[in-house]
Amino acid sequence: MASIKDVAAEAGVSVATVSRVLNGHPSVSADARARVLAAVEALGYRPNAVARSLRTDETRTLGLVISDVMNPYFTELARSVEEEARALGYSVVIGNADERPELQDHHVRTLLDRRIDGLLVSPTDGGSPLMLDAARAGTPMVFVDRWIPGVDVPVVRADGRAAVRDLVAHLHRLGHRRLAIIAGPAATTTGSERVEAFREALAEFGLPLPDVCIGQGDFQAESGRRVTERFLDLPEPPEVVFAADNLMALGALDAVRARGLRIPDDIALAAFDDIPWFVHTDPPITAIAQPTGELGRAAVRALVDRIEGRPPQSVALPARLVVRRSCGEPGEGTPAQSPVPAQSPVQRSKP
Amino acid sequence: MASIKDVAAEAGVSVATVSRVLNGHPSVSADARARVLAAVEALGYRPNAVARSLRTDETRTLGLVISDVMNPYFTELARSVEEEARALGYSVVIGNADERPELQDHHVRTLLDRRIDGLLVSPTDGGSPLMLDAARAGTPMVFVDRWIPGVDVPVVRADGRAAVRDLVAHLHRLGHRRLAIIAGPAATTTGSERVEAFREALAEFGLPLPDVCIGQGDFQAESGRRVTERFLDLPEPPEVVFAADNLMALGALDAVRARGLRIPDDIALAAFDDIPWFVHTDPPITAIAQPTGELGRAAVRALVDRIEGRPPQSVALPARLVVRRSCGEPGEGTPAQSPVPAQSPVQRSKP
DNA sequence: CTGAAAGCGCTTACAG
DNA sequence: CTGAAAGCGCTTACAG
């Protein structure tokens, strides 16, 4: 592969001059520039980014460590991150932690070794020493979706409180009183915050959240299935299951179907995270939608601000409730107090 | 960040010795080794992969350029690619072409600039000069899923011919005679091969495939919707729509639902690619499943073989038909000639 | 077993 | 405007 030396020889100039024209440095004669460009063209020369990075100490690359690529929510997040990064002149390399702390560490380490300019992470756990050290050592970092309290790192996330409250109001209106939740890992902020928001909303409506109605999941489908089976085995099973993410909702669906039960007649289901398939499931699933694309873009902007020396900003964007049919139709249970208009199935929460 | 020089100073040896212990070179005294390791620990030293790559001319990184990350099929492919690569000591950086040739080129160029050791690609089109030049210039490359004819690059893919034939047999048995397909771009092998396999299978059953029954999609949901609407507007609409990938099936579902039509009563639907959600749609969707994880792993093995100087092998793994309810139940149409047992909804094609 | 030195492909003060 | 030279952080023949 042609190097800068070859180009210099071909153009009859020094490598310094070649470097200058390649980097748009102003002080190059038109003649030299033309000869260099011609040589570049003739040799099909492409600068070696590895060498450049070693010299400039920047890779124009962002690392993104997410908890689970197979989760459509994170896939979409990754996509919007890449788009915004590309627009700002950065590449992104993705590490999939698969909800496993040791895999998360593997990726953080690899990314750091490659000297990425900054790190976007959605932590799988409370934060490993490796990650915390990197943050303290000054590696530009921002948390996205999930975060770690007590660390001085900007956070870009959705605020689901109002939407969860809207969901509980919706369930209450339909006459449901015994509600259960499939929670995410307590070590993650999204894991604990969603349970808390749910508990608070229930309290507001005078409803209890007994321990047997809190199932411990891990944000993956299999755990949703397992927890749902336990719910169904209860002497007094819940009337509603709220899955704290879309994959656990998929697992719950599997479990319900395996028992030959029907939604919402036998049991109602709602999910945190909205995905295109929820429109087509049997029945369509009521969900809380995050502004995923916006989150990804905001996270990149915050990280690049940090990298380029501008003060980065934390962001919290409101999630919103999307009512479908998996919790019952207004009128099926207690008469609806404020019926959802059939024409507009999307109900926005007021931020 | 500590460099190898700092470690050498701390340990009281030369950088050469530090390098040797880090790389497991045998000729280092136990004493020197111990001192180096202690210094590494004390300083929290991590080798700079950028510098190492420049020197050794290898990055231990694979590039993966896929057509669309948001497609669950490719997400799963990417995941299995990363797993196998990691097992073999490589990282992978993913480029999402989003079915856009110019984006594909952008990623190929970026990856090449970064001097990845090898490239895995699922081409979005017939192949750009950039990609073909890279292949000719000797960049280790393997095609996965889609490929480009006439280029000397190993191919790892699924063979869907038998499964498509099984699907058509299934449809015929159910009494369907007027079948349509939402095809992928003709410039992609999967785009054209699936239409061809479908056409051949139809011919075998004496069924025509008129031009109006071939809709041109681009493997993304929106095109599935558009094409389906056109089918539905036909004076004599098809009885079955076969979507050549799962996203176009999603679009078809949207279109059918928007018209208030029911599946399979008003129109039947089948898809190439199987995904977990197909079990839960209304109704569950009959699909052709690819051995996605196996494809990803085989592709990585082929590429690494090529990189490390072993002869790489092309691979074609059989896809299989998974019968669900979206095309009707046996007995609904013409009496089933060989009914699908209700107990086992999964029917394997014989390779 | 060990170290001094060259060199990977760039960029960038420094002189001119 | 231009080039010679230093140096980024490593690895690896080459001598000893």
Q: Give the domain CATH number at B16.
A: 1.10.260.40
Residue of A nearest to B257 (CA): A280
Domain assignment present for B135: yes
The answer to whether residues B190 and B66 touch, using CB atoms and an 8 Å cutoff, is no
Distance from residue A15 (CA) to nucleotide D5 (C1'), in Å? 12
- Rg of chain A's alpha carbons, rounded to an integer? 26
Alpha-carbon distance values, A309 to A92, A233, A302, A303, A337 (Å): 19, 56, 11, 10, 53
Q: Is the pLDDT score of A169 beyond 60? A: yes
The alpha carbon of A99 is separated from its chain's Cα centroid by a whole number of angstroms, namely 13
The answer to whether residues B104 and B125 touch, using CB atoms and an 8 Å cutoff, is yes
Q: Which residues pair with A118 in a beta bridge?
A: A62
What is the number of other CB atoms lying within 10 angstroms of the CB of residue A254? Answer: 18
Q: What is the pLDDT of residue A127?
A: 80
The answer to whether residues A220 and A192 touch, using CB atoms and an 8 Å cutoff, is no
The answer to whether residues A257 and B231 touch, using CB atoms and an 8 Å cutoff, is no
A211 touches chain B (CB under 8 A): no
Distance from residue B252 (CA) to nucleotide D6 (C1'), in Å? 64
Dump the DSSP string for B180-214. Answer: EEEE--TTSHHHHHHHHHHHHHHHHTT----GGGE
Domain assignment present for B324: no
Q: What is the pLDDT of residue A1?
A: 86
pLDDT tens digits for A20-54? 999 999 989 999 999 999 999 999 999 999 999 99
Nearest-10 crossing angle of helices A15-22, A4-11? 100
Q: Indicate whether B107 and B123 sit together in one domain.
A: yes
The answer to whether residues A183 and A211 touch, using CB atoms and an 8 Å cutoff, is no
How many domains does the structure of chain A reveal?
3
Q: Indicate whether B74 and B131 sit together in one domain.
A: yes
pLDDT tens digits for A317-337? 999 999 999 999 864 443 333
Q: Which residues contact B117 (CB under 8 A, 6 or more apart)?
A: B58, B59, B60, B61, B62, B90, B140, B307
Q: Indicate whether B150 and B298 sit together in one domain.
A: yes
Sign of CA dihedral A245, A247, A250, A256: negative
Q: What is the pLDDT of residue A330?
A: 65
Average pLDDT, chain A: 92
Q: Is any atom of nucleic acid chain C found less than 7 Å from the CB of residue A32?
A: no
Domain assignment present for B328: no
Residue of A nearest to B89 (CA): A110
Q: Give the domain CATH number at A147.
A: 3.40.50.2300
The Cα of A250 is separated from the nearest Cα of chain B by a number of Å equal to 8
pLDDT tens digits for A264-319? 999 999 999 999 889 888 889 999 999 999 999 999 999 999 999 999 999 999 99
Q: Is the pLDDT score of A351 beyond 90? A: no
Cis peptide before B264 (omega within 30 of 0): yes
Nearest-angstrom CA–CA distance, B178 and B213 = 8
The answer to whether residues A326 and A171 touch, using CB atoms and an 8 Å cutoff, is no
Q: What is the pLDDT of residue B347?
A: 40
* Phi, psi for A183 (deg, rounded to 5): -90, 160
A53 touches chain B (CB under 8 A): yes
Nearest-angstrom CA–CA distance, B108 and B64 = 9
Q: What is the pLDDT of residue B9?
A: 95
Dump the DSSP string for A257-289. Answer: HHTT--TTTT-EEEEES--GGGGTBSSPPEEEE
pLDDT in tens, chain B (351 residues): 899 999 999 999 999 999 999 999 998 999 999 999 999 999 999 999 999 999 999 999 999 999 999 999 999 999 999 999 999 999 999 999 998 999 999 999 999 999 999 999 999 988 889 999 999 999 999 999 999 998 999 999 999 999 999 999 999 999 999 999 999 999 999 999 999 999 999 999 999 999 999 999 999 999 999 999 999 999 999 999 999 999 999 999 999 999 999 999 999 999 999 998 898 888 899 999 999 999 999 999 999 999 999 999 999 999 999 999 999 986 444 333 343 333 333 343 333
Q: Indicate whether B162 and B285 sit together in one domain.
A: yes
Q: Which residues pair with B120 in a beta bridge?
A: B64, B142
Q: What is the pLDDT of residue A27?
A: 87
Domain boundary among A289, A307, A340: A289
Residue nearest to nucleotide C8 (CA to C1'): B55
Q: Indicate whether B190 and B255 sit together in one domain.
A: yes
Residues of B in contact with A109 (CB under 8 A): 46
Identify the three-state secondary structure at position B55.
helix
The answer to whether residues A36 and A2 touch, using CB atoms and an 8 Å cutoff, is no
Q: Do B79 and A91 touch (CB under 8 A)?
A: no
For residue A332, give both structure tokens: 């099926």
For residue B100, give both structure tokens: 């856009």
Chain C nucleotides covered by protein, CB below 7 Å: 1-5, 7-13
Q: Which nucleotide is nearest to A1 (CA to C1')?
A: C9
The answer to whether residues B177 and B171 touch, using CB atoms and an 8 Å cutoff, is no
Domain assignment present for A341: no
For residue B41, give both structure tokens: 């620990």
Task: Cite residues whose beta carbon is less than 7 Å from strand D.
Answer: A 13-17, 20, 26-29, 31-32, 51, 54-55, 57; B 1, 3-5, 15-16, 18-20, 22-23, 45, 47-48, 51-52, 54-56
Q: Indicate whether A141 and A30 sit together in one domain.
A: no
Q: Which residues contact A27 (CB under 8 A, 6 or more apart)?
A: A20
For residue B63, give both structure tokens: 């590039």
Q: What is the pLDDT of residue A232?
A: 97
Q: Is the pLDDT score of A342 beyond 90? A: no
Distance from residue B298 (CA) to nucleotide D13 (C1'), in Å? 37
For residue B13, give both structure tokens: 């040896």
Kindly state the average pLDDT of the residues A190-197: 96
Q: What is the pLDDT of residue A128?
A: 86
pLDDT tens digits for A53-109? 999 999 999 999 999 999 999 999 999 999 999 999 999 999 999 989 999 999 999
Domain assignment present for B338: no
The answer to whether residues A297 and A84 touch, using CB atoms and an 8 Å cutoff, is yes
Q: What is the pLDDT of residue B338?
A: 40
Nearest-angstrom CA–CA distance, A32 and B296 = 48
The answer to whether residues A318 and A288 touch, using CB atoms and an 8 Å cutoff, is no
Nearest-angstrom CA–CA distance, A223 and A68 = 14
Q: What is the pLDDT of residue B330?
A: 65
Domain assignment present for A248: yes
Q: Is the pLDDT score of A343 beyond 70? A: no
DSSP letter at A188 equals S
Q: Indicate whether A201 and A150 sit together in one domain.
A: no
Domain assignment present for A147: yes
Q: Indicate whether A40 and A65 sit together in one domain.
A: no
Q: Indicate whether B146 and B223 sit together in one domain.
A: no
The separation between the first and the last C-alpha atoms of chain A, rounded to the nearest angstrom, is: 56
Dmax of chain B from CA atoms? 87
Nearest-angstrom CA–CA distance, A300 and B39 = 36
Residue A273: left if φ>0, alpha if ψ -120 to 50, beta else—which one?
Answer: left
The alpha carbon of B145 is separated from its chain's Cα centroid by a whole number of angstroms, namely 5
Nearest-angstrom CA–CA distance, B6 and B45 = 9
DSSP letter at A212 equals G
The Cα of A28 is separated from the nearest Cα of chain B by a number of Å equal to 24
Domain span at residue A102 reads 59-156+292-316
B-proximal residues of A, 129-158, CB under 8 Å: 133, 137
Element spanning B101, H or E: helix B101-113
Q: Which of A70, A106, A115 sits opposite B79 (nearest CB)?
A: A70
Q: Indicate whether A95 and A147 sit together in one domain.
A: yes
Closest CA to A287 of A278, A296, A299: A278
Domain assignment present for B335: no
Describe the strand order of the beta sheet including A141-144 as a list of residue ranges.
A91-96, A61-66, A118-121, A141-144, A155-159, A315-318
Q: Do A51 and B54 touch (CB under 8 A)?
A: yes
Q: What is the pLDDT of residue B83?
A: 96
Q: Indicate whether A96 and A177 sit together in one domain.
A: no
Q: Indicate whether A208 and A139 sit together in one domain.
A: no
% pLDDT > 90, chain B: 87
